[in-house]
Structure 1
Amino acid sequence: MSKLADILLDPTLRPELLTACEGLVDAEVASKRGLASLPIKGGFKAVKAVSPAFIRQVVDALFDRFVEQLEPSYAQWIESGRSGSFGAHLQRHDLAVADALLAVTDQRARQSQMRSVKKVYDKLRPSAQGHVRAGVPRMGQVLDRYVK
């Protein structure tokens, strides 16, 4: 059985995937509405002010771990006979997917030496699971371009 890493960690695809993931983050933040969106949009703006390339750098740094965390979901999808798209499978298991991805970002935040980034992350973390779950459909659309 092939692994998700065999597909998504192909070095020739990495720049394209990073661009797609960066666009995913931008789109998710832009889609937030209401008062609850203010800390997210403010935090995002603050992080980008610190370093305009920060989001891409973080996606690049975390991408391999994200793929590793998605391997069990990919294996389940393969074992199910590839029922529906991989993105649809992720949506059906959005809570587990969100928790798996947040385990990666939580670890990264704990190890970060950038106090301003840690502060923003800690402020936003309590609502992160819901936001990541909301982003699973877009993430699935991105991954479906590569995973058939």
Structure 2
Amino acid sequence: MSSLPQILLDPARRPAVVDTLVGVVNAEVASKSGLGGRVIRTGYGAVTKLADGFVAKAVNRLLPGFADALDPFWQERAGRSFADVLVARQDEAAEALIAVTDAQVAGTSNGVVKKVYGTLRGRARENVVAALPRVGAAIESHAG
């Protein structure tokens, strides 16, 4: 069985994977409601105004780390959907993805990104867990 990094980082496939994952991010942001949702949408709006294509560039930068972090979950599918595996192990999957993002943000010199991420970090686990079904389905759509 191929590893998730081999599949998702294949140069022929990577641009479509990034586009799909940007769609996941957009859908997740749009689905948030209430005061917390407003904070997320405001923060997201701030980072998207930094530069055209900022979210796609960020997803592209994070993709290798995400693929590595999610590969153990991918390998244990055994006939189940990837979304089901991620949901069944949501705590570990969320923490694996958050660790990648934390490391990326810690290494950036972009003050706006650090500030926005710092504002949203407290609810990161909750938001990532909520996104796992979409993330799993999106990855499986490319990695089959």
Deviation string 1:84-111 (CA, Å, 9 cap, x unpaired) is 2122111111111110000011011111
CA contact (8 A) 1:86 1:147 kept: no
SS at match of 2:35: coil
Q: Tell me the equivalent position of 1:16.
A: 16
Q: 5+ unaligned residues in a row in structure 1: which ranges?
A: none
1:101 matched to 2:97: yes
Deviation string 1:50-77 (CA, Å, 9 cap, x unpaired) is 1131100000011011000011112222
SS at match of 1:35: helix
CA contact (8 A) 1:29 1:41 kept: yes
Amino acid at match of 2:132: V
For residues 76-115 of structure 1, the aligned pairs below 5 Å read 76-77=76-77, 82-115=78-111
State the superposition RMSD in angstroms. 1.1
TM-score (norm: length of structure 1): 0.92
For residues 7-86 of structure 1, the aligned pairs below 5 Å read 7-77=7-77, 82-86=78-82
Q: 5+ unaligned residues in a row in structure 2: which ranges?
A: none
CA distance in 2 between partners of 1:101 and 1:63 (Å): 10
Q: Tell me the equivalent position of 1:116.
A: 112
TM-score (norm: length of structure 2): 0.95
CA contact (8 A) 2:66 2:97 kept: yes
CA distance in 2 between partners of 1:6 and 1:106 (Å): 23
1:126 matched to 2:122: yes
> In percent, how many aligned pairs have the same letter?
37
CA contact (8 A) 2:108 2:114 kept: yes
CA distance in 2 between partners of 1:143 and 1:116 (Å): 29
Amino acid at match of 1:45: G
CA distance in 2 between partners of 1:84 and 1:116 (Å): 40
